[in-house]
């Protein structure tokens, strides 16, 4: 009886060993067929803080693996941290002075803080960075570190260890960031990052900035280059930032000047591509065509009321509405003439077209702020208002002030041909406007600055009017609660008069969606004005007397002409 039991126990042990051996062999087979699966290098944990050549090359594969269409499991934050900490490791822990890999070139040097001149280093992507003399033609890609940077450290140490790296990040998403992810065709120029580091020593607020020169081919006119650095504090996971950096554009190279040390890059971003320009042009043309039609209806409707109702002639509010309508109509007309039609005439004719377009644009801005001023008198300053020749004075400002600005701008020869081109350098939009390069200051002062001042005034007035409308006496509270939608519609109508849709121009840098919204709403401003005019004065003069603005205009601001 003993032998069978012993044999049974041995047989059981043999089966258990056999099964466990089969599982081990299966696990080894799976690891042999897919050795990287359990490691998951692109999660950024396997090679953390390890910077030997094998680990560097292994982690660098994630530059291409971690893309939008890839199924690779990636932790972009960990991977970015790996490369951002690389130079700190080279300065603080590594004994190597150079690293020469296909995607990474690094040079480490001990620098005395008592140097007598600036330091210059070459940044050729195919060679290890090295200290050079200031020979710009020979070294188109270079970095200059000011002597003052090291002099500021003399009190704490006699020498520092400096690391300079050139890193090729390929076209993946690791260093794309939220900003570039939202923009089509945006990229890091040549997929190249330049790192400058003194290890854990944080260097910011330099009195004299360092200079990094990136060489490149001539870029299309509708592309913009911006010097940036990777800001770990921006957003939740970091992003590109230009704070503390300036950009000096050149034909074959761009100079970046920054007041701190970190990883730097040059962003290449489209201003407007061909499809976007054509779409926006069509939207604007359709909207402006509709606006011109309804603005013409507004002018005819006003003329009919003025002819049929004599009391209507003394009201100033409709006169201001019509003056704004006329300026908008003429602006839309000059837009149709200008946009999409290259100047076939001489430079003088193009100068005239640019000046006329500029004049009517300023007239629109001026009459919108005059609408806001008139609204302020009617709703905010209701009592004891009297102006002799009120509308005549407004007309002198509305039509005369823009003329003075255009005369001053034109005397500086600021008008001329303005062209937008696509990536293939093909013309997508051509119009007579300001010169592209010679009149930047005039454009920003007489258009952007003038608009900003008028818009802010109109926005403040509209805010005060909204507060006035929605804070009526308590005796009217029950009735007004039932008519809140009428108050909202009133504010929308007043918004079209004072040009609140133009304020969307401030938001256009946020992306293409805001540009399209601005083009749609702003080009239909004439339609909104017609609807407002119709609500105020149709079906007859009696409707006008019930309008607060019309009644106030009749009672308190009377022109003596």
Averaged pLDDT, 279-294: 84
> What is the reported pLDDT for 464?
92
Task: Using CB atoms within 10 Å of the CB of residue 216, give its burial: 0 to 12 exposed, 13 to 18 middle, 19+ buried.
Answer: middle
Averaged pLDDT, 313-319: 84
> What is the reported pLDDT for 440?
64
> What is the reported pLDDT for 380?
85
> What is the reported pLDDT for 212?
94
**What is the pLDDT confidence band of residue 275, given thresholds at 50, 70 and 90?**
low
Q: 178-192, 344-358, 496-510, 514-528: which range is least confident on average?
A: 178-192
Residue 147: count other Cβ atoms within 10 Å of its Cβ.
15
Cβ-Cβ contacts under 8 Å for 97 (sequence gap 6 or more): 107, 108, 109
Instruction: Give kind and range of the element (H or E) at residue 100.
Output: strand 98-100
What Rg, from alpha-carbon coordinates, does the chain have? 34
> What is the reported pLDDT for 369?
95
Q: What percent of the chain has pLDDT over 90?
A: 31
For 148, the token pair is 């003052």
> What is the reported pLDDT for 486?
74
For 555, the token pair is 């009672």
pLDDT tens digits for range 253-264: 899 999 999 989
* 138 contacts 112 by C-beta, under 8 angstroms: no
> What is the reported pLDDT for 559?
46
> What is the reported pLDDT for 311?
66
**What is the pLDDT confidence band of residue 366, given thresholds at 50, 70 and 90?**
very high
Q: Which stretch, 303-312, 335-344, 495-504, has highest mean pLDDT?
A: 495-504
Q: 33-42, 492-501, 537-546: which range is least confident on average?
A: 537-546
Q: How far apart are CA 71 and CA 508, in angstroms?
A: 34
Q: What is the pTM of this model?
A: 0.55
Query: Is it the case that residue 271 has pLDDT exceeding 70?
Result: no
> What is the reported pLDDT for 312?
72
Largest CA distance in the chain: 134
**What is the pLDDT confidence band of residue 468, given thresholds at 50, 70 and 90?**
confident
Averaged pLDDT, 330-355: 80
Query: Is it the case that residue 91 has pLDDT exceeding 80?
Result: yes
pLDDT tens digits for range 46-61: 889 999 999 999 999 9
> What is the reported pLDDT for 7?
44
Q: How far apart are CA 176 and CA 294, in angstroms?
A: 47
Q: Of 246 and 561, which is predicted with more confidence?
A: 246
> What is the reported pLDDT for 272?
64
Query: Is it the case that residue 437 has pLDDT exceeding 90?
Result: no
**What is the pLDDT confidence band of residue 413, given thresholds at 50, 70 and 90?**
confident
pLDDT tens digits for range 21-38: 444 444 444 444 344 444
> What is the reported pLDDT for 44?
86
> What is the reported pLDDT for 183?
57
Q: Of 518 and 344, which is predicted with more confidence?
A: 518
Q: Of 529 and 438, which is predicted with more confidence?
A: 529
Averaged pLDDT, 167-183: 79
> What is the reported pLDDT for 2?
40
pLDDT tens digits for range 102-123: 999 999 999 998 998 999 999 9
Q: 42-56, 216-230, 525-539: which range is least confident on average?
A: 216-230
> What is the reported pLDDT for 129?
93
Q: What is the mean pLDDT of the chain?
A: 79
> What is the reported pLDDT for 108?
94
Q: How far apart are CA 42 and CA 61, in angstroms?
A: 8
Q: How far apart are CA 409 and CA 302, in angstroms?
A: 34
> What is the reported pLDDT for 474?
45
Domains and CATH numbers, the chain: 55-270 (2.60.220.50), 274-473+481-537 (1.20.1070.10)
* 245 contacts 263 by C-beta, under 8 angstroms: no
CA-wise closest residue to 322 among 337, 308, 312: 312
């Amino acid at each position: 009886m003993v032998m069978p039991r012993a044999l049974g126990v041995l047989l059981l042990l043999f089966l258990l060993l056999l099964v466990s051996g089969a599982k081990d062999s299966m696990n080894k087979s799976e690891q042999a067929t897919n050795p990287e699966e359990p490691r998951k290098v692109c999660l950024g944990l396997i090679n953390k803080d390890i910077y030997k050549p094998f680990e560097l090359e292994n982690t660098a594969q994630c530059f291409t693996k971690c893309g939008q269409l890839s199924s690779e499991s990636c932790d972009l934050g960990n991977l970015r941290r790996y490369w951002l900490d690389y130079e700190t490791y080279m300065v603080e822990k590594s004994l190597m002075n150079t690293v020469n890999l296909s995607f990474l070139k690094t040079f480490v040097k001990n620098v005395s803080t008592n140097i007598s001149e600036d330091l210059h280093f070459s940044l050729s992507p195919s060679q290890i960075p090295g200290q050079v003399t200031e020979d710009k033609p020979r070294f188109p890609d270079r970095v200059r570190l000011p002597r003052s940077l090291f002099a500021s450290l003399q009190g704490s140490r006699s020498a520092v260890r400096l690391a300079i790296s050139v890193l090729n990040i390929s076209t993946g998403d690791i260093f794309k960031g939220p900003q570039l992810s939202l923009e089509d065709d945006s990229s890091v120029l040549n997929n190249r990052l330049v790192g400058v580091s003194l290890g854990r020593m944080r260097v910011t607020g330099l009195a004299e900035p360092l200079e990094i020169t990136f060489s490149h081919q001539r870029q299309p006119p509708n592309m913009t280059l911006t010097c940036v650095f990777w800001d770990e504090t921006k957003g939740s996971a970091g992003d590109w930032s230009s704070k503390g950096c300036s950009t000096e554009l050149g034909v074959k190279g761009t100079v970046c000047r920054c007041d701190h040390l970190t990883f730097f890059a040059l962003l290449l971003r489209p201003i407007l591509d061909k499809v976007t320009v054509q779409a926006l042009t069509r939207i604007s043309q359709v909207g402006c065509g509709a606006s011109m039609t309804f603005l013409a209806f507004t002018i005819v409707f006003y003329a009919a009321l003025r002819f049929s109702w004599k009391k209507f002639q003394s009201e100033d509010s409709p006169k201001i509405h019509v003056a704004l309508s006329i300026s908008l109509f003429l602006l839309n007309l000059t837009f149709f003439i200008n946009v999409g039609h290259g100047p076939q005439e001489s430079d003088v004719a193009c100068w005239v077209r640019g000046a006329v377009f500029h004049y009517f644009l300023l007239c629109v801005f001026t009459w919108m702020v005059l609408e806001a001023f008139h609204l302020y008198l009617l709703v905010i300053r209701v009592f004891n208002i009297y102006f002799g020749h009120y509308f005549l004075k407004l007309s002198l400002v509305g039509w005369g002030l823009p003329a003075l600005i255009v005369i001053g701008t034109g005397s500086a020869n600021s008008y001329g041909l303005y062209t937008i081109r696509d990536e293939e350098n093909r013309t997508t939009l051509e119009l007579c406007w300001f010169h592209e390069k010679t009149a930047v200051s005039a454009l920003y002062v007489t258009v952007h600055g003038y608009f900003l001042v008028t818009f802010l005034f109109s926005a403040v007035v509209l805010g005060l009017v909204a507060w006035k409308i929605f804070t009526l006496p308590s005796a009217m509270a029950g009735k007004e609660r039932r008519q809140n939608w009428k108050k909202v519609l009133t504010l929308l109508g007043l918004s079209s008069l004072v040009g609140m849709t133009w304020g969307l121009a401030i938001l256009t840098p946020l992306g293409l969606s805001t540009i399209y919204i601005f083009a749609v709403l702003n080009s239909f401003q004439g339609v909104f004005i017609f609807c407002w005019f119709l609500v105020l004065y149709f079906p007859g003069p009696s409707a006008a007397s019930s309008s607060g603005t019309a009644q106030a205009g009749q009672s308190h601001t009377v022109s003596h002409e």
